[in-house]
Structure 1
Amino acid sequence: MTKLNKKLAISISLVVVIVSILSLTINNIFIHKYYLHEKKKIINTVGDKIEKLDSDTIIKDIDRIEDKYGINMIYTHLDMANGINEDAITEGLIKEFEKKDIKLKKFWISHYLVEDMKEKSINKIYNQGNLKYSLLVKFILKDNYIFAISMPIEHSQETISIINKFNLILNSFSVLIIILLTFILSKKIIDPLEKIKLLSKDIAKLNFRTEKIKTNDEIEELADSVNQMSVSLQKAQNELNKRNENLKIFIGGASHELKTPIALIKAYAMGIQDGIDDGTYLDTIIEESEKMNDIINNLIYLSKYEKREVKINSFDLKEILLLIIDEYKLIINENHIEINLNIDKKEFMIDGDIEGIKIVLRNLISNSIKYTIDNKIYISLNKNEKVYVSVSNRASGVIESELDNIWKPFYVLEKSRNRQLSGTGLGLSLVKEILDAQNLTYGTKLKNEYIEFFIEF
């Protein structure tokens, strides 16, 4: 038997025992008093009614009154000429009781009792000894007639004793039955609870699973809650593992991107120290320092937008886009890039983080300049239901499966990681964080070697 079995069995058995003890106590102390109280209430009710009637009416209605209230009523005439004759009154009443088949061993009427009757009705109880009953009598003196309203009172002690013994036996069997039923019913409770306990232990060991429990009660609701917790924790753990993996990749990528310029700066600085500078070493150090600065700035921006630190303002997207294109005019001309613009003449007022949108547009245009294979890039800005901006170019070697990866930090499409072409690999991940922080719709499309980056405002 489990702890719960024992606890339930003991608790319920104690309740039965306590109820039994209370029942025995109440039976012994109060049941006889209650029984007598009810009898007195009946004869008092009858007495109240007949006191309002004259003696002739009472005598005439005796049979009806007896039938209605379940009492016995007798009477005798009181001859006051020669004073109160106690014996005559007593014998007269006894004979009347015998006519009602009521046997009396102890019954008497005293002079004082008759005198009291003149003032009010009197209740008396006559114990009949070994006849094992008492007679409750209400005496009423009316028009020189003594009326006796009586009810027998059975001696209840023996009956109460039998009832108590029966209850004791019954309650003893009840305890045994309760223990048996408790074992059966608690098993239905304990089995699913045991499953929930094992499930909880597995969850504590990071072994996330669910347990199907069907009881149609609060235990089933508890099991469902634990199952939901298990699913949520598993999802959170998977997300945490994914984040940890991404963090490892991020740290590795950052280390790789910073290692190269640091190594070059060190090498060229040592060359200057050794006096072998051909006049280009300092320029190289400055160039590599600028690359490191770009990487660090991108990391700072990435951290900022991961925290969703955005400042929303209204601005004209068309104005910002043309400004960013103008920033790249020198590079475009040097590389003989042809820009095809498809921009409406109207204003394109949007709400957004203006500095973040500038970073996004710079990265998308910069990527197109780097990766175009036919020296052509296409930039469009139009509005139907939403403002739609896109930057596209023709690129080689891009496959559909790579499109989800390009948003990851330090992932670059140029496999050789040519330093003149690849960039830092942080640009598109920064674009993603900026756009996510503003809850904007964005994505990539690949069609006939053309890759398109688009944003909807």
Structure 2
Amino acid sequence: MKLREQFRRISIKWRIFACFAGFTLIMLILLWVFQVVFLDRFYQFIKINEVKSTAQTIVKHVDSEDFESTLQSISQGNQVAILICDEYGNISYYQDIMPASLISRLNPLSLSQIFSATTEEGGIFFRQFSREDMAPDGIHQIGPRGGIQNIIYSRIVEKANGSRVMILLSTSISPVSATVNTLRIQLFCITVFMLVLSLLLALFLSKWISKPIININASAKMLGSGKYDTVFDETGYKEISELGHTLNYAARELSRTEELRRDLIANISHDLRTPLTMIKGYGEVMRDLPGENTPENVQIIIDEATRLASLVSDVLDISKLQSGTEPLSRADFNLTESIRVILQRYSKLTDYHISFHADRDIYVNADELKISQVVYNLVNNAITYTGADKIVEITQTVSNGKVRISVRDTGDGIPPDKINDIWERYYKVDKEHKRAQIGTGLGLSIVKTILDMHGGAYGVQSEEGKGSLFWFELDAMELSD
């Protein structure tokens, strides 16, 4: 277990180095085995197959008119002695490019014996002999005993005229010990050279392959320590380049989140300090000064406390929604009537002109409390950013089984490069906007999270100087008159 753990802790550079070095070592071992250890066996195997292939070629041409010229060409091309005789040992053809070959020493009796042996073995006879194993009067011993080895291969063939002849082939297998010694010296030199070259190459390749990974790892450690301005190298092979690009994106998002977090702390600190100061100040005035305990002063304290409650509620809502600890409670309800009730609560804001246009009541299946939060936040956002005419317009439309609620303001609009950011937590398009300073920047993020939970569509259409239109859609269930 400890060895496995230690192996896992080895750096990728040395793992790659070990793989390249091991591969080279295996190739060299295979080269030694096949070129030295099994060279003699390979050589004999090739020669035996050549003799058998030659015999097959002769059988195909045994009745051809140019049989003798074919045999001569085969003998010269394959370094093989060829003899054709009948069952009595009478030779009808003999071709030998190697003087004093093994079959040249055979007399008719020996040839007749080989013919009989070939017949007994089903028409094909094959043996390997040393030169001393063959005598003019026949075969005394069978099997190689060292020195030059000879192959005897015979085959009985029936010609077109009905007569049977024996095709007898012979070739020699020279000892390869000298060749093996030569190869051994060459392979030793090659092995030394290849080992040195492979180790250097493995070291270079391991560094080249692992360097981008090591650099990314070092940069990731810097990012983990809180240095969000860390830049990851995006060069190198494809996977490393893509990883670097992804980590750079993650670093930018972390930096952006950190900036938003600082903004949130600053906003919350400001928003908490202002109402608390107001509550404390008016409370002290009402305590210390006679006649200041008026309904107006009490209402100010109530309003500021409401602001505090709203701030805390927003922070708690977004935390619960995004952690998934507050599930949906779906039910059928009248969305149109729910919006009317919400807008009645804004009636005290007499200096704002809030209108709602709906030609019928629409029912949906959703979490009524959470959808009301969506409407509240969109209306509050419109009130915060609407223009000097203080107009906020809410419209309900129905199309293709979907009900769309749109909230329009007449404010300054949203720059195109910031439209994708407005749904993020703590984000404010215009931090200098006087009325925007009283919010936390969580409203639209709450809207986004709730609608995502419902699977509803949402979006914004905005043009600078002409205001913005926020909308969301839900499945319509029932239409009523």
TM-score greater than 0.5 by the shorter chain: yes
* 2:459 aligned with 1:442: yes
2:398 and 2:235 map into 1 onto residues whose CA distance is 52
Amino acid at match of 1:343: A
The one-character-per-residue Cα deviations of 1:349-387 (angstroms, maximum 9, x if unpaired) are 445443222112122234444545325332211123443
2:276 and 2:187 map into 1 onto residues whose CA distance is 88
2:354 and 2:151 map into 1 onto residues whose CA distance is 125
1:237 and 1:414 map into 2 onto residues whose CA distance is 24
Match of 1:378 in 2: 393
Query: Among 195, 210, 224, which residue is 2:234 paired with?
Result: 210
1:105 and 1:388 map into 2 onto residues whose CA distance is 106
1:171 and 1:104 map into 2 onto residues whose CA distance is 30
Query: Among 318, 331, 345, which residue is 2:336 paired with?
Result: 318
CA pair 354-268 structure 1, distance change in 2 beyond 3 A:
same
User: Secondary structure of the equivalent of 2:389?
Assistant: coil
Structure 1 residue 456, shift from structure 2 partner:
3.3
Number of equivalences: 362
Contact 1:125 1:134 in 2 (8 A): no
Match of 1:74 in 2: 108
Q: Which runs of 5+ in 1 are unaligned?
A: 43-56, 77-102, 110-121, 137-149, 213-222
Amino acid at match of 1:341: F
CA pair 445-16 structure 1, distance change in 2 beyond 3 A:
closer
Contact 2:133 2:141 in 1 (8 A): no
CA pair 319-189 structure 1, distance change in 2 beyond 3 A:
farther
Amino acid at match of 2:108: I
Q: 1:256-267 counterparts in 2 under 5 A?
A: 256-267=270-281
Contact 1:314 1:349 in 2 (8 A): yes
1:209 and 1:105 map into 2 onto residues whose CA distance is 76
Match of 1:411 in 2: 428
Match of 1:297 in 2: 313
Of stretches 361-370 and 292-301 in structure 1, the one that deviates more from structure 2 is 361-370
The one-character-per-residue Cα deviations of 1:372-407 (angstroms, maximum 9, x if unpaired) are 532533221112344322122333x55636964655
1:199 and 1:425 map into 2 onto residues whose CA distance is 40
2:142 and 2:379 map into 1 onto residues whose CA distance is 120
Amino acid at match of 2:178: K
Contact 1:310 1:353 in 2 (8 A): no
CA pair 107-254 structure 1, distance change in 2 beyond 3 A:
closer
CA pair 310-439 structure 1, distance change in 2 beyond 3 A:
farther
* 2:406 aligned with 1:390: yes
What is the TM-score when the length of structure 2 is the normalising length?
0.58
User: Secondary structure of the equivalent of 1:344?
Assistant: coil
* 2:250 aligned with 1:236: yes
The one-character-per-residue Cα deviations of 1:118-160 (angstroms, maximum 9, x if unpaired) are xxxx963399x9x999999xxxxxxxxxxxxx99998x8xx43
The percentage of aligned residue pairs carrying the same residue is 18
User: Secondary structure of the equivalent of 1:205?
Assistant: helix
Match of 1:355 in 2: 369
* 2:257 aligned with 1:246: no
The one-character-per-residue Cα deviations of 1:150-190 (angstroms, maximum 9, x if unpaired) are 99998x8xx43xx1121221243245446656777888876
Structure 1 residue 195, shift from structure 2 partner:
2.8
Contact 1:441 1:455 in 2 (8 A): yes
2:177 and 2:363 map into 1 onto residues whose CA distance is 93
2:407 and 2:151 map into 1 onto residues whose CA distance is 115
Query: Among 207, 210, 213, which residue is 1:194 paired with?
Result: 207
Structure 1 residue 435, shift from structure 2 partner:
3.1
2:21 and 2:343 map into 1 onto residues whose CA distance is 82
Structure 1 residue 319, shift from structure 2 partner:
2.7
Structure 1 residue 416, shift from structure 2 partner:
6.2
1:152 and 1:399 map into 2 onto residues whose CA distance is 98
Contact 2:414 2:429 in 1 (8 A): no
Contact 1:209 1:227 in 2 (8 A): yes
Contact 1:414 1:422 in 2 (8 A): no
1:243 and 1:444 map into 2 onto residues whose CA distance is 25
1:187 and 1:398 map into 2 onto residues whose CA distance is 64
* 2:267 aligned with 1:224: no
User: Secondary structure of the equivalent of 2:343?
Assistant: helix
1:235 and 1:175 map into 2 onto residues whose CA distance is 54
Match of 2:183 in 1: 170
1:193 and 1:237 map into 2 onto residues whose CA distance is 28
2:133 and 2:393 map into 1 onto residues whose CA distance is 129
1:105 and 1:374 map into 2 onto residues whose CA distance is 123
What is the TM-score when the length of structure 1 is the normalising length?
0.61
* 2:456 aligned with 1:432: no
Contact 1:314 1:352 in 2 (8 A): yes
Match of 2:117 in 1: none
CA pair 231-298 structure 1, distance change in 2 beyond 3 A:
same
2:132 and 2:277 map into 1 onto residues whose CA distance is 130
Structure 1 residue 300, shift from structure 2 partner:
1.0
Higher radius of gyration, 1 or 2: 1
Amino acid at match of 2:393: Y
Structure 1 residue 292, shift from structure 2 partner:
1.1
Match of 2:91 in 1: 63
2:195 and 2:25 map into 1 onto residues whose CA distance is 10
Q: Which runs of 5+ in 2 are unaligned?
A: 1-13, 56-85, 96-101, 111-130, 153-167, 220-230, 475-481
User: Secondary structure of the equivalent of 1:374?
Assistant: coil
CA pair 277-293 structure 1, distance change in 2 beyond 3 A:
farther
Amino acid at match of 1:324: I
Amino acid at match of 1:318: T
